[in-house]
Amino acid sequence: MKFTISMLALALACLQCASPTQEKNDVLVIKGATLIDGTGAPATSNTTIVIQDGTIQSIGDSNSLEIPDGAAVVDASGKFVMPGLINAHGHIGGTNGLAAEYSAENVIRDLRLSAVYGITTVFSLGGDELPSVSIRDKQDTVALDRSRLYLAGDVVMGNTPEEARLAVDKNAANNVDVIKIRVDDNLGTTEKMSPEVYAAVIDQAKKHNLPVAAHIFYLEDAKALVKLGVRMIAHSVRDKEVDDEFVQLMIVNKVYYCPTLMREVSTFVYESTPTFFDDPFFLKEADTTVLSQLKQADRQQRIKESKSAQAYKEALRIAKLNLKTLADQGVLIAMGTDTGPPARFQGYFEHLELEQMADAGLSANDILKASTKTAAEAIGHSELGTLKAGNKADFLILNQNPLEDVKNARGIESVWIGGHQVDQNSIR
């Protein structure tokens, strides 16, 4: 992981400017909303939430819950409150426009953009350089105008078990939250990480008490990795329909499945101009230069002629079938998008992911739970993702009920992270 002192100083300075320290003992009350708590339980009407120092103190009926003297009260009557969305598989800070370019400034920008769209936490699974660690380490000490960040550091690679173990040790020394590996041959064009190497990675990660998230494509690789003890399968199985053996392995071992359907969509959607290029919810934060580049006829033609792009259309179909099967059988589903690479738009793609999950046949309740409670558990932070006493006050106030239609999660009245209202003004 590379960084410069000037990059780090600038990023932390920006963080302090965007997120002034809250006064201790300030009490915030959200009063009168319909509460969707993230657990999958039915919504409760006329609910009040009491928050102090960024943490939920109590939740109860508005007619009976006592409001502390001097509290700041937000009237949320007629609104819907739900936990902030959690992306259990993203990437942060690695692009500028359509160019691959990591910087601390890009990390802050991506986290700000995610927050504006209601994504209050991002689990960045690879490509994370040292400034990201310092930015993460500040997030529990300041009021946030950006998403929380947890990270994997470098994707672990190695030609031998010994090299792979050293790579795990290096990441652990950099204080990462998870170890990420790739077990994929990119549609037969590259060599996969061998079982000997990934077994060494998983074993070494256990010595550091670090979970492992695995990028996969093939069913048999996913089975082998679950047997060895990974915490998360970080993409859909896309080569064939899953079988009962895999379902049972996932359930018995309590492994999380992160479908990242928008990853597949992103490989072929720019063969023409996507319909979402006319969506005001997208356009309010879109980089017009990037849109112009993606509309170029020669670029679109190359995607039409790309064998891999066309192959991923079939992969998406299989991924949706498998998501529905696994969800119906009770496998733990965590929402993730693989956003971060060029043209996978931070914040907005998470909302498209919810819609893709609905298209796969999941209920709105199951999708919201996957995007809050289960995603929080998948990243190892159960103090997030549900609204209950003792948890972090990361939540959205919405104008419509997302349990009726996940598209209603777009109707954001306000975003709150650690009890601090995020500035909703455009960051462009």
Positive or negative torsion for Cα 258, 263, 269, 274: positive
Bridge partners of residue 412, in order along the sequence = 398
Condensed to tens digits (0 to 9), the pLDDT of residues 97-142 reads: 999 999 999 999 999 999 999 999 999 999 999 999 999 998 876 6
pTM, full prediction: 0.94
Reference 340, options 83, 122, 129, 117; nearest CA is: 122
> Tell me, what's the pLDDT at 379?
98
Give the integer Cα–Cα distance in Å for 130 and 337.
23
Contact in structure between 292 and 98 (CB atoms under 8 Å) = no
Q: Supply the DSSP symbol for 282.
A: H
Condensed to tens digits (0 to 9), the pLDDT of residues 140-194 reads: 766 789 999 999 999 999 999 999 999 999 999 999 999 999 999 999 999 999 9
> Tell me, what's the pLDDT at 143?
73
> Tell me, what's the pLDDT at 2?
44
Reference 131, options 222, 291, 4, 262; nearest CA is: 4
Contact in structure between 232 and 86 (CB atoms under 8 Å) = no
Those residues with Cβ within 8 angstroms of residue 21's Cβ, 6 or more apart along the chain or in another chain? 141, 142, 143
> Tell me, what's the pLDDT at 142?
66
CA dist list (Å): 111 to 7, 106, 265, 397: 16, 8, 22, 19
> Tell me, what's the pLDDT at 424?
87
Give the integer Cα–Cα distance in Å for 26 and 68.
10
pLDDT, tens digit only, all 428 positions of the chain: 444 434 444 444 444 443 333 344 589 999 999 999 999 999 999 999 999 999 999 999 999 999 999 999 999 999 999 999 999 999 999 999 999 999 999 999 999 999 999 999 999 999 999 999 999 998 876 678 999 999 999 999 999 999 999 999 999 999 999 999 999 999 999 999 999 999 999 999 999 999 999 999 999 999 999 999 999 999 999 999 999 999 999 999 999 999 999 999 999 999 999 999 999 999 999 999 999 999 999 999 999 999 999 999 999 999 999 999 999 999 999 999 999 999 999 999 999 999 999 999 999 999 999 999 999 999 999 999 999 999 999 999 999 999 999 999 999 999 999 999 999 887 76
